[in-house]
Amino acid sequence: MPTPESAALAAELRTVMGRLARRVKHEDQLPVGQVAVLGALDRDGAMTTSDLAADQRVRPQSMARAVGLLLDQGHITRRAHPTDKRKTLVELTATGRAALEAERGRRAGWLAQAIEGELSPEERESLAHTVAFLNRLAAR
């Protein structure tokens, strides 16, 4: 059973990480849901709309709308499923990959500026150690 200190630290860490994630996402120019779909396709490759819905934990109808918007924007394309001709796969286009990289660049750029503008060299060094600790926790 965790100590009260560890439990309090965990609650504070969860809150701060959520606030930071929301602030970084504020830099996005595409809606967060669309960025998430592009990210899933980049990470996992071509998927059916149903698989994307399951991956993102949304209803298939909601995913169908997001896929339709991304298709209209040229960020994804459809192709026949290689083993089941009743299904279609959606995958990133070069335009979609470029849009995703631009979103990631805006997020990382904002965060890098915030780190340099708010933290002293010693604090940045401490943050680097903290990132290593967070990676260990995430890998658990």
At 94-122, the pLDDT tens digits run 999 999 999 999 999 999 999 999 999 99
pTM, two decimal places: 0.77
The domains located in the chain, with CATH, are: 7-139 (1.10.10.10)
CA distances from 45 to 38, 55, 78, 91, 109 (A): 10, 12, 12, 7, 26
Q: Which long-range contacts does 41-44 make (Cβ < 8 Å, 24+ apart)?
A: 41/76, 41/90, 41/91, 41/92, 41/96, 42/92, 42/97, 42/100
Single-letter amino acid code for the residue at 68: G
- The pLDDT tens digits for 33-76 are 999 999 999 999 999 999 999 999 999 999 999 999 999 999 99
